[in-house]
């Protein structure tokens, strides 16, 4: 089998998994076509195992919703050898059932909803025939899985949002979205870590920093974490912001089993 055929081949023992070339030094491993916790958990397990084994010549592993991008140095590691290494890992116990007792990290994020902090909250409520308080209640009612991190440094793609408040992106993105803004895009929700352009519907904002480039661990979230949103008043938001600036505030992080966390 040629390298090109091997890249396109479906792994025999795992029909959902396909491997494709991404330029001279990239390999995309597709593990599904839908956003689902089980598929995403398998992606993250594969990323963890590859990072731990780390074949010589592998540069970086980038997990996404349903796929994994592996960067490698083709002068050190051949594509065929990388494909075979991935196939060996996939042949193992990559997708065991997720036990309800498995523990997850839950990060509590304070959010001031609406007003200057959430200019699209009224629109989301109106389009769904809800009050703004109902939108807030629905948004904060569940724990959200961090499916992937990207777009800007530390941006968490969180899901899945209740269909009751799922709302399309803006037709024309804003040129500037303030850092900390909490947005909705379809059945996803997320938080902007830095000032940036963006097209998500903004319903609130958090004063908690998600990206600290000078820190040993610069990102607040990792794939597989869970996030809960806790409403706060504008006064409490500003109080937390002052504590953050003074270096006195850390978000609450708890560890809970999946069953208790509702994930």
Is 168 found in the same domain as 242? yes
The whole-number pLDDT of residue 144 equals 96
Is 110 found in the same domain as 86? no
Evaluate whether residue 230 is within a structural domain: yes
On whether the CB atoms of residues 194 and 211 are closer than 8 A, the answer is: yes
> Can you state the percent helix, strand and coil of the chain, rounding each to 5?
25, 30, 45
Tell me the CATH number at 193.
2.40.100.10
Is 119 found in the same domain as 82? no
Evaluate whether residue 96 is within a structural domain: no
On whether the CB atoms of residues 122 and 132 are closer than 8 A, the answer is: yes
Query: Residue 26 forms beta bridges with which residues?
Result: 71
Is 170 found in the same domain as 76? no
Q: What is the DSSP string of 18-39?
A: EEEE-STTEEEEE--SS--HHH
Residue that terminates a domain, selected from 90, 114, 142: 90
- Look at the chain and report how many structural domains it folds into: 2
Please give the structure tokens belonging to residue 250. 């850390």
The whole-number pLDDT of residue 5 equals 42
Q: What is the DSSP string of 191-250?
A: E-SSSEEE-SEEEEE--S-SB-TTSSS-BS--TT-EEEEEE--HHHHHHHHHHHHHT---
Is 70 found in the same domain as 48? yes
Residue that terminates a domain, selected from 56, 90, 124: 90
Domain that holds residue 200: 103-261
The whole-number pLDDT of residue 147 equals 95
Model confidence pTM above 0.75:
yes
Evaluate whether residue 202 is within a structural domain: yes
In the three-class reduction of DSSP (H, G, I as helix; E, B as strand; rest coil), residue 41 is classed as helix
Tell me the CATH number at 80.
3.30.1360.40
Cβ atoms within 10 Å of 92's Cβ, excluding its own: 11
From first to last of its 263 residues, what are the pLDDT tens digits of the chain? 344 444 444 333 344 689 999 999 999 999 888 888 888 988 988 998 898 888 899 999 999 999 999 999 999 999 999 999 888 888 776 554 444 446 789 999 999 999 999 999 999 999 999 999 999 999 999 999 999 998 899 999 999 999 999 999 999 999 999 999 999 999 999 999 999 999 999 999 999 999 998 888 899 999 999 999 999 999 999 999 999 999 999 899 987 655 445 54
Evaluate whether residue 97 is within a structural domain: no
Spatial distance between the Cα atoms of 227 and 144, rounded to a whole number of angstroms = 5
Spatial distance between the Cα atoms of 137 and 139, rounded to a whole number of angstroms = 6
């Amino acid at each position: 089998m040629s390298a090109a055929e091997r890249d396109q081949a479906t792994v025999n023992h795992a029909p959902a998994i396909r491997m494709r070339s991404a330029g001279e030094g990239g390999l995309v491993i597709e593990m599904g076509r839908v956003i689902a916790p089980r598929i995403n958990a398998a992606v993250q397990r594969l990323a963890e195992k590859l990072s731990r084994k780390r074949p010589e010549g592998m540069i970086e592993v980038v997990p996404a919703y349903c796929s994994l991008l592996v960067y490698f140095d083709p002068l050190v590691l051949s594509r065929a050898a990388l494909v075979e290494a991935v196939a060996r890992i996939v042949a193992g116990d990559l997708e065991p059932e997720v036990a309800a007792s498995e523990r997850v990290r839950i990060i509590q994020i304070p959010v001031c909803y609406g007003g200057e902090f959430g200019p699209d909250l009224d629109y989301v409520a109106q389009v769904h025939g809800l009050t703004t308080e109902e939108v807030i209640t629905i948004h904060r009612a569940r724990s959200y899985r961090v499916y992937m991190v990207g777009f800007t440094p530390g941006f968490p793609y969180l899901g899945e949002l209740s269909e009751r408040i799922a709302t399309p992106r803006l037709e024309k993105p804003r040129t500037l979205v303030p850092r900390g803004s909490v947005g909705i895009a379809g059945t996803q929700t997320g938080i902007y870590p830095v000032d940036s352009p963006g097209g998500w519907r903004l319903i609130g904002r958090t004063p908690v920093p998600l990206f600290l480039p000078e820190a040993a661990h610069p990102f607040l979230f990792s794939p597989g974490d869970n996030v809960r949103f806790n409403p706060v008043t504008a006064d409490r938001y500003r109080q937390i912001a002052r504590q953050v600036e003074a270096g006195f505030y850390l978000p609450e992080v708890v560890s809970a089993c999946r069953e208790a966390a509702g994930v």
